[in-house]
Structure 1
Amino acid sequence: MDDPSQGKPPTFWQMLHSVLAAALGVQSGKNRARDFTHGKASHFIALGVLFTLVFVLVLIGLVQLAMHLTAR
């Protein structure tokens, strides 16, 4: 199904999965080979920056919530 030798670029969901797996450090060799062979670096960089931004905003929101709840 996700054979790296197919020659098709990865779909958005495959790229998102790769970015999340890379963030956790659990990317499979097969997916890494697909990404490096058929993916565009600019797409992965954009998704990585977007993921990092969302992650930081969620952390800020959680800290703000915790501070609000403990200020009572």
Structure 2
Amino acid sequence: MTLQISAVLVASSNGYQDYDIQGHPCVRRACVPNNIRRGETFNVYHGESSKSGAVWDGDLASSLRKFATN
């Protein structure tokens, strides 16, 4: 089953794009640098106050799906 993830851009300043995430089993927010390259990490926020790094694969939804399987 493929996760149906949606992302809403809430801020785009200071060199980052900040997204509210819906449809992911644990991630509620993602902060992606404007100049991110494949294989680099970006911040994802989950739970009450936890932060982790997800690996960028060129697409936000795909990267978040892979984060869910790790």
- What TM-score, normalized by structure 1, do the two folds share? 0.28
Q: Which structure's residues are more often helix, by fraction?
A: 1
Q: Which structure's residues are more often strand, by fraction?
A: 2
Higher-RCO chain (CA-CA 8 Å, sequence separation at least 6): 1
- What TM-score, normalized by structure 2, do the two folds share? 0.29
In our comparison, the structure showing a higher alpha carbon Rg is: 1
